[in-house]
Chain A
Amino acid sequence: MSSGKTQEIFSYTSSILKEYPREQRFLLAILQDIQKQYNYLPREALTIIHEYLDIPMSKLYSMATFYKALSLKPKGKYVIKVCDGTACHIRGSSLIIDEIQKLLNISPGDTTEDGLFSLETVNCLGSCALAPVMVVNGKYFGKVTPKMVKKIIDEFGGQNSEDI
């Protein structure tokens, strides 16, 4: 990682830490703020948090791997969330997941090599009336059929698109 990037992470993380007292109870909130900014938890940021809160790195690692909202791997520019709550499931969400896997050649939890898409399954978005639902960077698509998947992905630059 370039030193400029490291510097940027350092100053952003420090600015986040200023908002929180030095107490362990704010650890999850701090990690979530960092995750929101970078779509993952950069190691540099974790080092600073570890020093600030005096919490061992192993503990930070345990938090990062326990909570689904946190990730140690960078996520794609577009995060595709397919709802696999019960209502979506019985209305065919697994067929949607299959179709995306086929099109992007990634499994849930993975990111495409070009860093464009990440695929995640989530347990219920509370939009059961629209089941099955998929969400791309906050945009909802309801009553999705396998047929619609390619169109939706293409809307975000698709797997073969060059205008990235």
Chain B
Amino acid sequence: MKIFKSKKKKTVLVCCGTGCLANNSLEIYKELKRKAEISGINVKIRPAVKATGCNGLCEKGPIVKIYPDDIFYCNVKVSDVDEIIDRTIKNDEVIDRLLYLDTSTGKRVKSHKDSKFYGKQTKIVLRNIGEVDPASIEDYIERGGYQALKKALSDLSPGDVISEIKKSGLRGRGGAGYPTGSKWEQCDKANNFPKYVVCNGDEGDPGAFMDRSIMEGDPHSVIEGMLICAYAVRAEQGYAYIRDEYSLAIENMSKAIEQAKKRGFLGSNILNKGFNFDIQIVRGGGAFVCGESTALMSSIEGNVGEPRIKYIHSTERGLWEHPTVLNNVETWANVPVIIDKGAEWFNSIGTERSKGTKVFSLVGKVNNTGLIEVPMGMTLKEIIFDIGGGIPGSKKFKAVQTGGPSGGCIPESLVDLKVDFDSLDEAGSMMGSGGMIVMDEDTCMVEVARYYLNFLSEESCGKCVPCREGIKRMLGIVDGICSGRGQEEDIDLLFELSETIKEASLCGLGKTAPNPVITTIKYFREEYLEHIINKRCPAGTCKELINYYIDEDICKGCGLCQKNCPSGAISGQLKSKYTIDISKCAKCGVCRDVCKFKAVKIKGGVAK
């Protein structure tokens, strides 16, 4: 048992990001706070208990951190609270059982910084998340918050700010990677007032939740970024468009705006410099296409979110036909740090044409699911295997999907690819907003393509015929392939449709919609052919092409599969061999998951 001594006031941070909240972390927070209040009578120094934003390692949540001793507890339960108070808070003992277990070394580590998951990360955007109470502007200021705003307003001209952002090489984190400084410059040159500054918080890519975590965990960094831009382009009104589903993000951003107003960081005559700026929150309506900048502006105006043609930039004629700078949440959060530490510092991180870091949500078939931030140029291998801890259940890594529905699947053969805007483009995928979905040998790539087509066919706004009808046609074809009705000419037809949709759609949704299909055919053509010619799904995913059966040689007759089968399709006697009635089987795979002997197997071929 390790014992440490610290005389300083302790701070207990309880992660209340969405992942941990879903694992009951609010109860832990309340209980810790209650117990800390009571025990305050006996303890000399009463600890401060704070609820923070997402720590990133959602897989191991709920997470509790204790400062100044830098102890990192994971998978904490309400029943652990007493022990944490008694042993760690009162007696300075570390509870080994709750420490993070580094699977690669088999050792438990006291501080999160000692783990590979955190050790390999560089936190710029996520600098405060998990460390501050998002509801407290004091916490943010204590960590250097609003210093950049003061610096900009006192020492820099609007032109200086723009050239600093240009020099930094910051590119938009929303997906396309447009240079942020150039965007601001264009808006600055437009001489039509009022101008607007917009935050795109309509994060819609499935499997991506970095923007939500930033707005929830460090809302002031977004506000400060918008303020600095508003000063640079001489805008007085800002809008933060946030997905309606993100209730906690809306709540925390609203609180932060109120606090900033009280402190004189927002409103009129900010910091007595004669600069006025205000931010209003607009709740999104749950339409994926509203993540597209012109559709988003249309939605703020109170219309349906249909994109418009972009031969005139939004920086000249955007919201209500006025010059508008629209950036994504993560881009905004980068801005204060760049102004504070300087363009050169930022420029030293990353690759030739992609500077700084990128936040990814590392999800899917990976051990350490969560939110990570790495310098541009880190290889996929380092991200997935070092930080992500590899694939669960000793399965084989198959592919990683980046860029959401606009991106593509990158196969195992490209695992040494250095991740930045350009390298992902070259591989046929894209950076997108930063979803990184890891797939293993059990994931069928044709089915993944089908999934994205289905998503896009539902989310197409319907304005352009090639997108609206073309995606549906592609979905029909891929659906057919997944259910054993595929024909050899289907692949050519898919390419042909892809070309048309790319060429003839107005906005990014349509222009990139075929990417998941094109990349999966490019890298996994064999798998398509297997479905089409042999009517087999090698990954064992496509229901119409598989059957479950129990291998008699392996079955020990424990009956667990029968007990767990929701369809009542398994029959047999204890200690004898069990069998699956194919006519009743719903192919849900529960039996395969519960069998301890791996006796349940999948047979390819068309179901009879």
Contact = CB atoms under 8 A, between A and B. Distances in A.
Interface of A: 23-29, 32, 62-63, 66-70, 84-87, 89-92, 95, 98-99, 102, 122-131, 133, 140, 142, 145-147, 149-150
A150 B566 contact: yes
Nearest to B451: A89
B23 A122 contact: no
A142 B19 CA distance: 10
Nearest to A140: B22
Contacts of B274: none
29 contacts: A24-B301, A27-B302, A28-B282, A28-B285, A29-B283, A32-B285, A63-B303, A66-B285, A67-B286, A67-B305, A69-B286, A84-B206, A86-B207, A86-B401, A86-B451, A87-B206, A102-B586, A122-B245, A123-B206, A124-B206, A126-B212, A127-B18, A129-B19, A129-B369, A129-B370, A130-B22, A145-B593, A146-B566, A146-B590
Interface string B442-465: 010000100100010001010000
B443 to A, nearest CB: 5
Interface stretch (B158-166, B359-367, B376-384, B489-497): B359-367
Interface of B: 18-19, 21-23, 58-59, 61, 204-209, 212-213, 244-246, 282-288, 299-305, 361, 363-365, 369-370, 401, 404, 435, 437, 439, 443, 448, 451, 455, 459, 461, 564, 566, 586, 588-590, 593
Contacts of B287: 66-68
Contacts of A145: 590, 593
A128 B207 contact: yes
A126 B18 contact: yes
A146 B443 CA distance: 18
B462 to A, nearest CB: 9
Contacts of B593: 145
Contact of A28 (B207, B283, B370): B283
Contacts of A23: 302
Closest 9 CB pairs of A and B: A67-B285, A126-B209, A129-B58, A68-B286, A85-B206, A128-B363, A140-B22, A87-B363, A24-B302
B23 A25 contact: no
Contacts of B302: 23-28
A130 B590 contact: no
B590 A87 contact: no
B369 A147 contact: no
Nearest to A95: B588
B301 A127 contact: no
A67 B459 CA distance: 10
Contacts of A133: 22
Contact of A129 (B282, B363, B455): B363
Given A24-B302, A67-B286, A68-B287, A130 B455 contact: no
B283 A63 contact: no
A15 B451 CA distance: 43
A127 B209 CA distance: 8
B363 A70 contact: no
Nearest to A87: B363
Nearest to B301: A25
Contact of A127 (B19, B205, B283, B443): B19
B244 A69 contact: yes
Contacts of B369: 87, 128-129, 131
B300 A128 contact: no
B417 to A, nearest CB: 20
Contacts of A87: 206-207, 363-364, 369, 437
B288 A123 contact: yes
Contacts of B244: 32, 69
Contact of B364 (A25, A86, A98, A122): A86
B537 to A, nearest CB: 14
A68 B246 CA distance: 14
B143 to A, nearest CB: 24
A125 to B, nearest CB: 7
A142 B23 contact: yes
Contacts of A102: 586
Nearest to B563: A147
With a 10 A CB-CB cut-off, give which of B22, B212, B365 has the most chain A CB atoms: B22
Q: Select the residue from A23, A142, A147 with max chain B CB neighbours within 10 A.
A: A147
Contacts of B455: 123
A90 B443 contact: yes
B207 A70 contact: no
A29 to B, nearest CB: 6
A125 B305 contact: no
A18 B219 CA distance: 29
Contacts of A89: 206, 451
B361 A128 contact: yes
A6 to B, nearest CB: 26
Contacts of A125: 18, 245
A92 B589 contact: yes
A131 B451 contact: no
